[in-house]
Amino acid sequence: MSDAWLLIYMLLSLSSAALAVAVAAIVKAMRGAGEAGERVVEELRCPSCGYSMRRRFVEGDYVGHVVDFRCPRCGVSMVVSRIYVESAEPLRVKLFTRRRERREKHLNP
């Protein structure tokens, strides 16, 4: 084996190791990005006609709280009926992670 070939071989193995580390870092960052982006919403319900709507959570509100917002149909003050978080994933992340999600479907039904 000549010196030149040995050097090329060593350089190649070194650079492929560096590449593997870089790819792992990028994949990890992308997976992490998918977990961010949640928003808290609340559902308002009219106690007299049952009309319901959603809006962004307002601090100080709680389930059963009569809010300062009137039903657009009958004008009665609406009541908070549910508060929960919804994930709002950006589209870009979805494109990258959809395949993985499909693959792991049996793990996360």
CB of 105 to another protein, least distance (A): 11
HSE-CB at 66 with a 13 A cutoff on CA atoms is: 5
Should residue 49 be labelled a site residue for Zn ion when binding is judged by CB under 5 A? yes
Specify the DSSP class assigned to residue 58: -
| 37's tokens | 């982006």
Name the one range near another protein by CB under 8 A: 24-32, 56-64, 70-78, 94-102.
56-64
CA atoms of 100 and 98, how far apart (whole Å):
5
SS3 assignment, position 45: strand
For binding to another protein (CB under 8 A), which residues are involved?
A: 1-3, 6, 38, 40, 47, 57, 59-65, 79, 81-86, 107, 109
For binding to Zn ion (CB under 5 A), which residues are involved?
A: 46, 49, 51, 71, 73-74
